Chains A and B, each alone.
Chain A
Amino acid sequence: DAGVIQSPRHEVTEMGQEVTLRCKPISGHDYLFWYRQTMMRGLELLIYFNNNVPIDDSGMPEDRFSAKMPNASFSTLKIQPSEPRDSAVYFCASSVGPELHFGDGTRLSIL
């Protein structure tokens, strides 16, 4: 079975550029989550959706971050403009019950 698919796996870009991270959840899952992982702060919840509707975006750090889920099989996390402190691993996860299923993450480096 296909798991959660994230792209790209790695992204290196210069500060000020727009970054778009993509996620395809597991088919049939009605919840989608975006987390960010850093050494200093661990795993932080950024935002999550239920049936494509954002439920809680209180973890989104600033207005530079935005997330969308136009349909049940696709979500994006956008950073514009990007800054070096945004460097982290970004994970997408989906669920249909209590257990979350994670993608392999996008390792983002902002120079």
Chain B
Amino acid sequence: AQSVTQLDSQVPVFEEAPVELRCNYSSSVSVYLFWYVQYPNQGLQLLLKYLSGSTLVESINGFEAEFNKSQTSFHLRKPSVHISDTAEYFCAVGDQAGTALIFGKGTTLSVSS
């Protein structure tokens, strides 16, 4: 069975500081990995995904994540955060197209000035 562990439930940072949100997964087969972001009173939006190929994936708003197979990790990073990045971030794992994703419990990123 697959599982996802997000190691930090809350991460407070100051604006323009770097941030890393940690995610580890467990799976016996090849995986797809995702980061979703949820703003208050909204659904989850895809931030970035790893399906195959380059292990470093990037989003359009400056986030990046690296798939590390040996450490079974998919940590999310941003070199300089903005107030608008304040949200809940979810890591998810899937094993083939169309099957349900398994989500971590989420990490609340709070950016203050």
- Interface of B, secondary structure class, is loop
B43 touches A98 (CB 8 A): no
A to B CB contacts below 8 Å, 11 in the list: A33-B100, A42-B103, A43-B90, A45-B100, A45-B101, A98-B96, A100-B44, A102-B44, A103-B43, A104-B42, A107-B41
In the complex, the answer to whether A50 meets B46 with C-beta atoms within 8 Å is no
* Shortest Cβ gap from B7 to chain A (Å): 14
Q: How many A residues, CB 8 Å from partner?
A: 25
Instruction: Select from chain A the residue with minimum beta-carbon distance to B42.
Output: A104
How far does the alpha carbon of A98 sit from the alpha carbon of B42 in the complex, in Å? 21
Number of A-B residue pairs with CB-CB distance less than 8 Å in the complex they form: 53
- 14 new A-B contacts at CB < 8 Å, known A56-B100, A98-B49, A103-B43: A4-B43, A30-B98, A43-B106, A45-B100, A45-B102, A95-B98, A98-B34, A100-B101, A102-B36, A102-B43, A102-B44, A102-B45, A105-B43, A107-B41
What is B's interface to A at a CB cutoff of 8 Å? 32, 34, 36, 41-46, 49, 51, 90, 94, 96-106
Complex: how many Å from CA A49 to CA B62? 34
| Max chain B Cβ within 10 angstroms of own Cβ: one of A56, A97, A99, A105 | A99
Cα distance A102–B43 in the bound complex, in angstroms: 6
Do A98 and B105 form a contact, CB below 8 Å, given A45-B100, A56-B100? Answer: no
Q: Is the CB of B43 within 8 A of A99?
A: no
CB B16 to nearest CB in A, in angstroms, measures 30
In chain A, residues 55-92, which have Cβ atoms closer than 8 Å to a Cβ of chain B?
A: 56, 91
